[in-house]
């Protein structure tokens, strides 16, 4: 890891009101995936500064801190099913890349991935109205349509859509919101694409049929 104080931060030291927490850094660093089958190295860059901490005896201790702004190649934040459509994977990889630098744009890429997921499961993008005219369906309506056959997964997708709306419309999105969303998305993709609960239910039924009559 290498870090340097910014030129502006150095100039601030001449101010009579200067405090250590005015300090600003830029940094670069290298990391390595610790998974034995990967060992991929990746570059990280970002900003930093100095912040107050409370010592053991209650005294103030000034400590350096660092905040990543970019990482390349960005590790996957969640596991994606092997059968996940390529176009959905592509949007989610873009979302991973944006996690540190632009949380709102990251949420927007998740929203685009949901549109493509609805395509994959056969939810139409248009609907014919009472006058026989085709009207486009927005993502909310498409998820509602899907929810009629998969209530639980539909509710999870709708929660992700609301987050995507916030990001797309300029609202504030926190990194903790994104991590929650990715956790929900990882589970939902497994349910929709791999039908995990359905497979487990079948296995449980098979065991019950085979062993419940035994004494």
Residues 204 and 13: their CA atoms lie apart, in Å, by 68
Are 202 and 186 part of one and the same domain?
yes
54/85 same-domain check: no
Together in a domain, 152 and 110: yes
Structural domain including 210 reads 76-215
- How much is the pTM? 0.82
Question: Are 83 and 184 in the same domain?
Answer: yes
Return the closest-CA partner of residue 104 out of 177, 176, 172.
172
Contacts of 34 (CB under 8 A, 6+ apart): none
Domain match, 129 and 177 both? yes
Each residue's pLDDT expressed in tens, for the chain with a length of 215 residues: 999 999 999 999 999 999 999 999 999 999 998 888 889 999 999 999 999 998 888 888 999 999 999 999 998 999 999 999 999 999 999 999 999 999 999 999 999 999 999 999 999 999 887 777 889 999 999 999 999 989 999 999 999 999 999 998 888 999 999 999 999 999 999 999 988 777 878 888 887 887 787 65
Structure-block tokens of residue 22: 């005015």
Last residue of a domain, one of 24, 43, 74: 74
Q: Do 183 and 200 fall into the same domain?
A: yes
Is residue 195 domain-shared with residue 129, that is, in the same domain? yes
Residue 196 sits in the same domain as residue 100: yes
Are both 121 and 178 inside the same structural domain?
yes
Residues 63 and 162 in one domain: no
Do 38 and 120 lie in one domain? The reply is no
| Neighbour-count burial for 124-161, b at 16+ CB within 10 Å, e otherwise | eeeeeeeeeeeeebebeebbebbbeebeebbebbbbbb
Check whether residue 146 and residue 181 sit in a common domain.
yes
Q: What are phi and psi of 52, to 5 degrees?
A: -80, 140
Tokens 């939902």 sit on residue: 188
| Structural domains counted in the chain | 2
């Amino acid at each position: 890891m290498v870090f340097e104080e910014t030129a502006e931060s150095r100039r601030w030291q001449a101010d009579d009101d200067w405090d250590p927490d005015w300090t600003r850094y830029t940094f670069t660093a290298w990391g390595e995936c610790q998974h034995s089958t990967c060992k991929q190295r990746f570059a990280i860059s970002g900003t930093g500064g100095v912040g107050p901490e409370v010592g053991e005896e209650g005294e103030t201790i000034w400590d350096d801190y660092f905040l990543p702004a970019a990482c390349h190649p960005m590790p996957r934040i969640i596991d994606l099913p092997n059968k996940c459509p390529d176009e959905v994977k592509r949007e989610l990889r873009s979302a991973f890349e944006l996690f540190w630098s632009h949380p709102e744009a990251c949420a927007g890429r998740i929203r685009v991935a949901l549109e493509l997921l609805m395509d994959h499961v056969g939810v139409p993008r248009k609907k014919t109205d009472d006058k026989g005219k085709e009207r486009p369906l927005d993502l909310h309506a498409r998820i509602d349509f899907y929810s009629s056959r998969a209530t639980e997964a539909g509710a999870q997708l709708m929660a992700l859509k609301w987050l995507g709306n916030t990001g797309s419309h300029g609202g504030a999105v926190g990194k903790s919101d994104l991590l929650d969303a990715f956790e929900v998305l990882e589970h939902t993709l497994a349910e929709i694409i791999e039908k995990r609960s359905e497979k487990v239910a079948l296995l449980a039924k098979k065991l019950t049929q085979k062993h419940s009559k035994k004494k």
